Amino acid sequence: MEKIKLGDLCKPSAGQIKEDEDTLIDYIDISSVDNETKKVTGYQTITFGEAPSRARKAVKRGNILVSTVRPNLNAVALLEEDTPNVSVASTGFCVLESKDDVDPRFILNFCKSKPFIDDMVSQATGASYPAVSDKIVRSALVPKYSYQEQQHISTVLEKLAGIIDDRRIELQQLDDLIKARFVEMFGDPVENPKGYRVDTLQDLIDAGDITYHLDGNHGGDYPRSEEFVSEGVPYIGANCISNGEIDFSLAKYLTVERAGKLRKGIAQNEDVLFAHNATVGPTVVLHTTEPKVILSTSLTAYRCNKESIMPEYLATYMKSDGFVMQYSSEMKQTTRNQVPITAQKKYLFLIPPMEEQKAFSEFVKQVDKSKVVVQKSLDETQKLFDSLMQEYFG
């Protein structure tokens, strides 16, 4: 198929703006774009005089914002509405305005495509802060479609994206339902209105309530990149946590022999996994048929004695504000974004009676069944969306 430059579908760049010092602007920076939903999620209202020097690009409804920094993250969005004041974007964006005979949704979808991302990543310069220029963005090659074809493509992809968004919202609502049920049954952990027993993690370990508490710090025995294979014993990190589960499609694998040499960070089915390094906080119950799963340095395993603590209860407690406050306070005292395993042993845990924990655990399992159905629909729709993106733009 014939291809043309992206810039040929767009009006010339408007360049940078200059406003009076006291003019109110609505400033959109890179963090204003959600690189998963591809939407502008907010802006900062300040005077032009107070704005950072990079707040210099005028934008308006219908413009497409393409982040030129770290193109692998694909922070792109279409500005769906004008903001109340003068809309201004960071110079870290390439701002694209479609020509009158071009569907702006088509441009957005192209900028979300794998060929575009791969092209930008291959041309990015700067080791610690990779970036591309506006010229490189506008020079990207786009399959040439008529306006009617662009509209058809955009409508199909928009409908699928809408279904994907709906499924993600459903998953979030189910997670919120679990959190609401937790508070309903046990109260606010900070206030502990029902006077439940409170123990440190070390107390729970000493009492045998937690029978295993180790992270994936393998010392000098970390697997080397060339030791990973296509199948075998899963090796997972915090990056494998997706939608409240471990996504094994993101896992690496070790041979049984190599995995057998590791003595720490060995997780089993129904262990509670806590992300404690770099990405801190995500917590899941591990569901697997594998006899063991190896953890990387970013995860800690908590193994429950199910006669005194249920995994579903523990995982939900560790997502509660009361627990988050404990490790957040710890991290404020250091520049490192991590919660060491020794520090975790000082944290307080609320331990309700087992009959209450079991009732909550059964509730979570029922909700999880609904989540599996929604997740399957989401995965199938995402697969179709990805397939069509490849067909249209590959």
The string of pLDDT tens digits covering residues 180-190 is: 999 999 999 99
Query: Are 92 and 29 spatial neighbours (Cβ–Cβ below 8 Å)?
Result: yes
pLDDT band at 393 (very low <50, low <70, confident <90, very high): very high
Q: Average pLDDT for residues 57-79, to the nearest whole number?
A: 96
Count Cβ atoms below 10 Å from residue 138 Cβ, excluding itself. Answer: 18
Q: What per-residue confidence (pLDDT) applies to 281?
A: 94
Residue 200 has pLDDT above 70, yes or no: yes
Q: In whole angstroms, what is the distance from residue 234 CA to residue 213 CA? A: 19
Q: What per-residue confidence (pLDDT) applies to 262?
A: 94
Contacts of 214 (CB under 8 A, 6+ apart): 264, 265, 266, 300, 301, 341
Domains of the chain: 3-144 (3.90.220.20), 197-351 (3.90.220.20)
| Residue 285: φ, ψ to 5° | -90, 125
Residue-wise pLDDT for 238-261, tens only, equals 999 988 899 999 999 999 999 999
Element (H, E) at 157: helix 147-186
Chain-centroid distance of CA 261 in Å reads 32
Count Cβ atoms below 10 Å from residue 338 Cβ, excluding itself. Answer: 18
Q: In whole angstroms, what is the distance from residue 225 CA to residue 209 CA? A: 36
Query: Are 322 and 350 spatial neighbours (Cβ–Cβ below 8 Å)?
Result: yes
**Secondary structure (3-state) at 40:** strand
Residue 96 has pLDDT above 80, yes or no: yes
Q: Of all residues in the chain, what percent carry a pLDDT higher than 90?
A: 91
Q: What per-residue confidence (pLDDT) applies to 36?
A: 86
How do strand 86-90 and strand 24-28 relate by DSSP bridges?
Answer: parallel
How do strand 141-143 and strand 3-5 relate by DSSP bridges?
Answer: antiparallel
Residue the block writes with tokens 């995965």: 379
Residue-wise pLDDT for 323-358, tens only, equals 999 999 878 766 678 899 999 999 999 999 999 999
Q: Average pLDDT for residues 96-109, to the nearest whole number?
A: 97
Residue 279 has pLDDT above 90, yes or no: no
Query: Are 174 and 370 spatial neighbours (Cβ–Cβ below 8 Å)?
Result: yes
Q: What per-residue confidence (pLDDT) applies to 335?
A: 64
The Cα-based distances of 223 to 202, 238, 276 in angstroms read 30, 17, 20
Cα dihedral 143, 147, 153, 157 sign:
positive
For residue 107, count CB atoms less than 10 angstroms from its CB and return exposed for 0-12, middle for 13-18, buried for 19 or more: buried
Residue 34 has pLDDT above 80, yes or no: yes
Q: What per-residue confidence (pLDDT) applies to 212?
A: 97
Tell me the chain's radius of gyration from C-alpha atoms: 25
Q: Average pLDDT for residues 4-25, to the nearest whole number?
A: 90
Q: What per-residue confidence (pLDDT) applies to 243?
A: 84
Residue 73 has pLDDT above 70, yes or no: yes
In this structure, of 17-31, 94-108, 158-172, 378-392, the range with the lowest mean pLDDT score is 17-31
Average pLDDT value over all residues in the chain: 95
Beta bridge partners of 197: 351
Q: Average pLDDT for residues 56-67, to the nearest whole number?
A: 96
Contacts of 99 (CB under 8 A, 6+ apart): 9, 10, 11
Residue of 1 and 198 predicted with greater confidence: 198
In this structure, of 219-223, 227-231, 381-385, the range with the lowest mean pLDDT score is 219-223
Q: Closest Cα to residue 317, out of 210, 162, 237?
A: 210
Count Cβ atoms below 10 Å from residue 147 Cβ, excluding itself. Answer: 13
